[in-house]
Amino acid sequence: MGPELLRVEGITKRFTGALALSDVDFDLRSGEVHVLLGENGAGKSTLVKVLAGAHSPDTGRIVVDGREVRLGSPQQAAKLGIAVIHQELTLVPDLSVAENLFLGRMPRRFGFVDRALVRRRAREMLERVGLPVDPGTPVRELGIAQQQMVEIARALDTDAKVLVLDEPTAVLTETETDRLLEIMAELRDEGVGLVFITHHLEEIRRIADRITVLRDGESVGVLPAGSSVDEMVRMMVGRTISEQYPRRAREPGEVLLSVSGLTRSGAFSDISFEVRAGEVLGIAGLVGSGRTEVARAVFGVDHYDSGEVVVAGSRPRAGDVRAVMRAGLGLVPEDRKGQGLVLTSSVGENLGLVTMRAATKGGFVDRKAQRVRTSAMAGRLRVKTSGLDQPVRELSGGNQQKVVIGKWLLADVRVLVLDEPTRGVDVGAKVEIYELVNELTDAGHAVVLISSDLPEVIGMSDRVLVMSAGRVAGELTAAEATQDAVMALAVSAGAAEPGRWSHTEGFSDKWREAERDTARPSAPEETVADTTWEQAR
């Protein structure tokens, strides 16, 4: 490790109702990857925003290159060589890669943009991050990983000595993550100092030189490279987690969800499956295999051409979300930046969105009963909040995700479809979500679990349905569902689409890609929120 690039001492940041950072010390040296680890709401993003000049701390010192500085704005931070890659990328989709790389600082000659120079410099910058795209390509044609690389290339060109990456791998596939970690290692070798946030502990094991653990806004310790997952978990949540996938199987009862011959041209075809009371059915599949599309069609937010959906004995009309919900089926959509939430409303209101109807007595909402239930759920999922009245937009990303899950876990549904329920959620809350799945099935409900996390879908399901290229490729019992067996089925439709499977990417890579490609955080999700509002009234 080289000389110290940056140090913060005694940083405190208070928001109304929350002490986000309390007397935090942190330092970064040249040529190291320093990981910030902590539960949802521990204060990681707040510290990053202080380093980015986006939040000014209430107290504390910031020292860059040995000199105390005030980071009054992101521009000032950038001038001092601190570049931050936030989760929400900031590129302009309709401009080319080169135009984005030089946004606001186009090299000019005699007053004209020097196009030849722009292209040459752009190529050099892209080469540094190993991105083989033409600088003339519009950014909107790039995948998320490539866009992230363009941002990193741009950041590095401004002579950044410090590169801060806030949960960059959450949206990446395994191969893309590998590539990013390689580039991070190369930059480290060049002497750049990197601050890295991730909830994936195995990534930390691979790349971290030091790990600073935050808990409730305090720095509780620094772990060295090579620390075990157990050590990280213990320091992060203050206890060990004995069982990662605590599935309690029970004798299945009557069929609660029956899907037969469901077909939508171009998306999925002839999908049939059943889920019984007390069962967890996992749905697995690769890029474009259609898992999420099927879930959305079953829930009624997307249409289907033919087939039948029966929920607890009734046949809701295709495409009628309200009828599907009345029949007793709920969907936790894959979360994308607060999707499924009413951001301006409070934590309590959001948790109660779907249950309000259940808590309605003679036309009036029984507010007391409602509060008891929502507050118990917030406690179980350890939603970090100053109270049920806090606006949900003030919560950290992971805690917003917990509220989306909690809302549906509280809903009185017979069948709950969970699409990527644990993305962005810390390890402790993950296990709590699994426990709640157990409780749902203990109580005789049925759960459909769609997940890109292969160990999770295998560990928590009684049966795993594997989809491939829009069809059901097969079904495995819990005992049969090994990674290899699931993989073999998932690629079984490969012959039909040779191009898709010819590359040598890892399996779970396509897995995460599938998840991402099918995510459409647009109108249909709003429909969900609107419908629940309407129902609540």
Tell me whether residue 374 or residue 396 sits nearer to ligand ATP (CB atom): 396
- Give yes or no for a contact between 180 and 126, defined as CB atoms under 8 angstroms apart: no
The Cα diameter of the chain in Å comes to: 79
Supply 356's token pair. Answer: 């309000």
- Give yes or no for a contact between 271 and 259, defined as CB atoms under 8 angstroms apart: yes
CA distances from 284 to 170, 256, 512 (A): 19, 20, 11
CB of 1 to ligand ATP, least distance (A): 25
CB of 320 to ligand ATP, least distance (A): 35
- Give yes or no for a contact between 126 and 142, defined as CB atoms under 8 angstroms apart: no
CB of 78 to ligand ATP, least distance (A): 21
Tell me whether residue 40 or residue 227 sits nearer to ligand ATP (CB atom): 40
CB of 58 to ligand ATP, least distance (A): 13
Residue reference for tokens 């709640």? 436
Residue 533 CA neighbour count, 13 Å, CB half: 10
Give me the residues that bind ligand ATP (CB under 6 A), please.
15, 18, 20, 38, 40-46, 384, 394-399
Tell me whether residue 295 or residue 383 sits nearer to ligand ATP (CB atom): 383
Encoded amino acid at 228, one letter: S
CA 337 to chain centre: 8
Tell me whether residue 53 or residue 285 sits nearer to ligand ATP (CB atom): 53
Q: Which residue is nearest to ligand ATP (CB)?
A: 398
CA distances from 449 to 183, 270, 411, 500 (A): 34, 20, 16, 25
CB burial readout 239-264, b (16+ within 10 A) else e: eeeeeeeebeeeebeeebbbbeebbb
- Give yes or no for a contact between 129 and 152, defined as CB atoms under 8 angstroms apart: yes
**Helix, strand, coil share of the chain (percent; to 5):** 35, 25, 35
d(Cα 394, Cα 400) in Å, to the nearest integer? 9
CB of 161 to ligand ATP, least distance (A): 23
Phi then psi for residue 316, to 5 deg, are: -65, 145
Q: Measuring CA to CA, which residue among 164, 168, 213 is closest to residue 48?
A: 164
Beta strand 463-468 with 280-285 is: parallel
CB of 376 to ligand ATP, least distance (A): 20
CB of 164 to ligand ATP, least distance (A): 12
Supply 378's token pair. Answer: 């917030």
CB of 5 to ligand ATP, least distance (A): 22
CB of 46 to ligand ATP, least distance (A): 3
d(Cα 272, Cα 261) in Å, to the nearest integer? 5
CB of 187 to ligand ATP, least distance (A): 23
Encoded amino acid at 150, one letter: V
d(Cα 413, Cα 416) in Å, to the nearest integer? 6
Q: Measuring CA to CA, which residue among 313, 296, 406 is closest to residue 354?
A: 406
**The dihedral of CA 169, 173, 174, 176: what is its sign?**
negative
CB of 374 to ligand ATP, least distance (A): 17
Tell me whether residue 62 or residue 284 sits nearer to ligand ATP (CB atom): 62
d(Cα 392, Cα 318) in Å, to the nearest integer? 32
Sort 514 into a burial class: Cβ within 10 Å, 0-12 / 13-18 / 19+.
buried
CB of 282 to ligand ATP, least distance (A): 26
Supply 101's token pair. Answer: 């790389």
Q: Measuring CA to CA, which residue among 193, 169, 198 is closest to residue 38?
A: 198
d(Cα 329, Cα 125) in Å, to the nearest integer? 50
Tell me whether residue 43 or residue 193 sits nearer to ligand ATP (CB atom): 43
Q: Measuring CA to CA, which residue among 288, 535, 519, 309 is closest to residue 420?
A: 519
Tell me whether residue 44 or residue 512 sits nearer to ligand ATP (CB atom): 44
CB of 177 to ligand ATP, least distance (A): 18
CB of 18 to ligand ATP, least distance (A): 4
Tell me whether residue 41 or residue 421 sits nearer to ligand ATP (CB atom): 41
